[in-house]
Every structure is written in structure tokens, then in C-alpha cells.
């Protein structure tokens, strides 16, 4: 069935994954979509022939810090009480219990969802959606869950886990993430939960790998991506990365943050087939950010679940965006109706000798819904309108019909050359520093077009 498995790494990306699968669940109840879509691409169907019903679980692998699942227990739908908490009175009646942190109560939305016959579903807000499990509508298979053993979720900074909740050491450096995955989870993950997800696929088409690059999750996901490519060399992999720009002025406190972005981007260029550098807005909560980003994630993945002639494969879409050029994998521009641009690269400062109007190497148009008025061709793809779940924030639920333009442009050169200069000045003496500088220069050269003035034609913000 050409299945696609989504791997989300870290709390912010688990919000995005949740919103995506909630939108998938919404389509199940739409008669027109049910006939036009092949839901087994993103959802694993389980058929009850006795009762003549079908239930769906997400084809998902979720990586989270300890306690980051909120009120959701791994086996809570199979067993009513599979663990106890430090503030649970029932622990006194049982000598063989596992004590953990304080229990996270269910959100008002989840309480209403569990009692949908008697309680109306409330409108979500930031207070009600602190955890992605606060509004998850689908029941996950226990094999979807993967948790760090020594790193606890920090509610005050949800994307930066804390070592054993001691508030002493944060899950922050790229190298720490690489070490954590390779030494503690590589073999267990590939032989365990990943293998079980693969067993549930007839013909695996590819992966969506979602990560946030503002913590050690960047190194963790990069190490995973490298092994994933080694394990499944012919499988298509799309990397969805959240990038955050904290300041226009460089200071040494920002160097670890920039180093994470540089190193992760190099690995993604080597191992992924297409990279979506999503803009992370610090003014938005994880729930609001996911509500915004899911419009892009759902638009791209809706192409793969269509039936008949309108269906497109991941490899076909990759060719549409990159025109089969394997050296340019970053989607520099991701714009909706030529209005808002979701790409982190799009707003990056111009490099000192770059062209003010970046050259467009290739572009692809996804037409959603009623705006689909052009003849479909290699670069114009059509799909159904966006059907948002009620968990998507109100401001991101519409419009349902829109044009999504994805482009590979010269703008990527600006980003990689800025990074190369920073790495050359501040990181060259670090382990693999010279290699990082060379890799960034090579990345930049793939996005060069025409002639450049060697002299400085503007001020470098760094």
C-alpha cells in the first residue's frame, strides 16, 4: 500500500505529529475523502470481522523525554492501571509498585473526548494544550512510544529535557544527542519498535522524520537518520526540521545553537532526500506552532494517499521540487498563496555578495481544493482541500483551499555561507571543525548561480 511512517523526535515535533494524525482522523469521517483516499498509507487498519468494524492506529514512532507524554500512559488503553505515581494513595496498598513523578491530570479536552456522549468538546487553548497528548484523538499502538530513560520533561521549557529532573544538566548539545542515541537506544530501537512498525507495512515507501534543532534532539535525530539510511538505503526520507533564529547579532552564547543547526543540516543533506527547514516562531506555543506547520505537512503527504491517477509517490514529489538534482535538497521557500512563508531560509539575511533577487532553480505548486484551476503537470500537483481537525488553532484552520509553492532557490547559499564564516572563525579548532567548514562551503556551492563580486557589497550581520 506504499506506507509512510512518521518519526517525530522531541516535544515540539510530537505536537506536529499529533496534529497531522488528528487531521487524518478527521478525514475518516468525511464520506468523500473516505472514497478518494487510501488511509492505510499513514494509518494502520485493524479489521474486526466479527463486528464488521475497522480501527486505525497511526504509523508513527514518537521519541519523548521522561514524563513528556503527559497523562498518556503507554498501555493505558490496554490496562487501566499499569503504573502508580508518587502522589497516588493506592501505592500504600501495594508493595510492588513503580513510583514516578506526580501524575499529570487529563486535559479538559481529553476528558470530554473520553466522555463524548455526555460532554461537548471544548475549544482548545494554550493552557489546555501544554502536552501533545492533551488533544491526541487517535489511539496509538504501544510500539509507537519511545522514551528517554534519564532525561525528564521540563514543563517550563518543554523542548529542553532536564537530567533526572535535578535542574543541573540540560539536554542541550549536539554531541550529547548523538552519544545518547548511539550508546543507549540504537540497537533497542531498530530491533524493537522500528522493526515492529515495519512488519505492519506491505510496501514501505518512506519516512517523515521530524526534529527540532534547538536542543540535543538535533544530534539524536541526526544519529538516527544516519542509521536509518544505512538500514534502509533505498527508502525515501523527508526531513522536517524546526529552525529558530534567536538574534540578529552573533554572540558566543549562540554558538552551540548555531553549531546544532549546522551539523544537523549537513547530515540531512547527506542522508535525507528532501529537507523542509520550517521556521520556529518563539512567540507561538508548541500547539500553535504545530497548528500552523501541519498545513504544510498535510499538504505534502496528502499527495501520497490519493487513489488513482492523482496519487503521487514521494520520489515523484522529490523530482518535482528538485528536478532530479540530488545536490539541492533544501526547500528554500515554502509559501502559501504567495503570502506567508514557512521556510526558515527565506527570511535569512542576504550574504554580502549575494544577488538581491535569488535565482529559482526549481519550483513545485500544490493546489488544494477549489483553487485547482490549472492543468496538472510535472510541477503542478493537485489534491483535496485542507480538512483541519478541531484541534488545530482557529487561525490556522482556514483557508481550506490554497496554493502552496515550494521552491529550491539561491537563498540557501546565503544561509550556508553565513554558517561557513561563523564555523571558520569560531569552530575550526573544535573536533571536526575543518570538516564542518568544508561541508558548509560545499553545500553553498550547490546553490550558486551566475557571477559573484568578490568584494564586500554589503554588511554581514555577523
Domains of the chain, residue spans: 3-71+106-346
Find the range with the poorest average confidence among 38-47, 79-88, 440-449.
Answer: 79-88
pLDDT in tens, 322-332: 765 678 999 99
pTM greater than 0.85 (yes/no): yes
- Residue 196 pLDDT more than 70? yes
- Place 351 in a pLDDT band, splitting at 50, 70 and 90: very high
Alpha carbons 69 and 82: distance in angstroms, whole number = 15
Alpha carbons 428 and 421: distance in angstroms, whole number = 10
Alpha carbons 395 and 291: distance in angstroms, whole number = 9
Q: Dihedral (C-alpha) 419, 420, 424, 429: value to the nearest 10 degrees?
A: 80
- Residue 115 pLDDT more than 60? yes
Closest CA to 344 of 247, 277, 282: 277
pLDDT in tens, 303-317: 999 998 889 999 999
Closest CA to 396 of 297, 254, 248, 327: 297
163 vs 82, residue with greater confidence: 163
C-alpha cell at 189: 530501537
Query: What confidence score (pLDDT) does residue 82 get?
Result: 43
Q: Which residues pair with 135 in a beta bridge?
A: none
What mean pLDDT, rounded, does the chain reach?
Answer: 89
Average pLDDT estimate for 208-216: 97
Give the distance from CA 66 to its chain's centroid.
19
Closest CA to 269 of 430, 424, 439, 422: 439
CATH class as words, domain 3-71+106-346: alpha beta
Which helix H or strand E contains 5, and what residues bound it?
strand 3-9
Count, residues in the chain: 462
Contact assessment for residue 161 and residue 64, using Cβ atoms and an 8 Å cutoff = no
- Residue 133 pLDDT more than 60? yes
Express as a percent the part of the chain with pLDDT over 90: 72
Query: What confidence score (pLDDT) does residue 456 get?
Result: 47
- Place 248 in a pLDDT band, splitting at 50, 70 and 90: low
Average pLDDT estimate for 374-385: 77
Largest CA distance in the chain: 77
Find the range with the poorest average confidence among 93-102, 142-151, 171-180, 372-381.
Answer: 93-102
- Residue 68 pLDDT more than 90? yes
Average pLDDT estimate for 391-410: 96
- Residue 337 pLDDT more than 50? yes
- Residue 282 pLDDT more than 80? yes
Alpha carbons 173 and 148: distance in angstroms, whole number = 16
Average pLDDT estimate for 55-64: 96
> Cis ω on the peptide bond leading into residue 399 (within 30° of 0)?
yes
Amino acid at each position: 500500500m506504499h506506507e509512510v511512517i512518521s518519526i517525530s523526535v522531541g516535544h515540539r515535533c510530537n505536537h506536529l505529529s499529533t496534529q497531522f494524525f488528528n487531521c487524518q482522523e478527521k478525514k475518516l469521517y468525511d464520506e468523500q475523502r473516505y472514497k478518494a483516499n487510501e488511509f492505510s498509507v499513514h494509518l494502520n487498519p485493524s479489521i474486526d470481522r466479527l463486528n464488521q468494524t475497522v480501527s486505525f492506529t497511526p504509523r508513527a514512532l514518537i521519541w519523548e523525554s521522561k514524563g513528556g507524554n503527559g497523562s498518556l500512559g503507554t498501555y493505558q488503553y490496554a490496562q487501566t492501571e499499569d503504573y502508580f505515581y508518587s502522589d497516588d494513595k493506592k501505592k500504600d496498598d501495594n508493595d510492588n509498585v513503580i513510583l514516578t513523578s506526580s501524575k499529570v491530570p487529563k486535559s479538559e479536552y481529553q476528558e470530554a473526548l473520553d466522555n463524548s456522549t455526555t460532554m461537548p468538546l471544548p475549544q482548545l487553548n494554550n493552557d489546555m494544550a501544554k502536552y501533545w497528548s492533551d488533544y491526541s484523538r487517535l489511539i496509538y499502538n504501544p510500539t509507537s512510544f519511545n522514551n528517554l530513560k534519564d532525561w525528564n520533561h521540563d514543563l517550563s521549557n518543554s523542548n529542553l529535557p532536564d537530567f533526572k529532573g535535578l535542574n543541573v544538566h540540560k539536554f542541550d548539545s549536539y554531541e550529547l544527542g548523538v552519544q545518547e542515541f548511539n550508546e543507549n537506544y540504537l540497537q533497542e530501537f531498530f530491533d524493537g519498535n522500528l522493526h515492529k512498525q515495519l512488519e505492519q507495512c506491505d510496501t514501505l515507501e518512506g519516512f517523515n522524520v521530524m526534529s527540532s534543532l534547538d536542543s540535543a534532539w538535533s544530534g539524536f535525530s541526526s544519529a538516527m537518520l544516519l542509521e536509518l539510511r544505512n538500514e534502509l538505503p533505498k527508502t525515501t526520507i523527508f526531513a522536517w526540521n524546526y529552525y529558530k533564529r534567536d538574534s540578529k547579532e552573533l554572540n558566543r552564547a549562540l554558538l552551540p545553537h548555531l553549531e546544532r543547526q549546522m551539523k544537523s543540516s549537513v547530515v540531512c543533506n547527506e542522508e535525507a532526500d528532501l529537507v523542509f527547514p520550517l521556521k520556529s516562531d518563539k512567540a507561538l506555543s508548541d500547539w500553535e506552532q504545530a497548528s500552523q506547520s501541519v498545513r504544510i505537512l498535510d499538504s505534502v503527504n496528502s499527495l501520497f494517499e490519493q487513489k488513482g491517477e492523482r496519487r503521487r509517490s514521494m520520489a515523484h514529489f522529490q523530482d518535482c521540487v528538485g528536478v532530479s538534482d540530488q545536490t539541492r535538497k533544501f526547500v528554500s521557500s515554502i509559501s502559501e498563496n504567495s503570502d506567508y512563508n514557512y521556510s526558515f531560509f527565506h527570511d535569512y539575511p542576504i550574504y554580502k555578495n549575494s544577488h538581491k533577487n535569488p535565482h529559482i532553480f526549481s519550483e513545485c505548486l500544490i493546489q488544494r481544493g477549489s483553487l485547482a484551476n490549472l492543468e496538472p503537470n510535472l510541477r503542478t500537483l493537485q489534491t483535496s482541500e485542507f480538512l483541519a481537525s478541531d484541534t488545530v488553532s482557529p487561525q490556522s484552520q482556514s483557508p481550506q483551499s490554497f496554493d502552496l509553492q515550494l521552491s529550491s532557490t539561491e537563498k540557501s547559499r546565503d544561509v550556508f555561507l553565513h554558517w561557513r564564516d561563523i564555523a571558520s572563525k569560531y569552530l575550526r579548532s573544535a573536533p571536526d571543525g575543518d570538516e564542518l567548514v568544508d561541508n558548509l562551503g560545499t553545500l553553498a556551492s550547490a546553490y550558486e548561480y551566475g557571477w559573484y563580486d568578490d568584494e564586500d557589497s554589503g554588511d554581514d550581520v555577523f
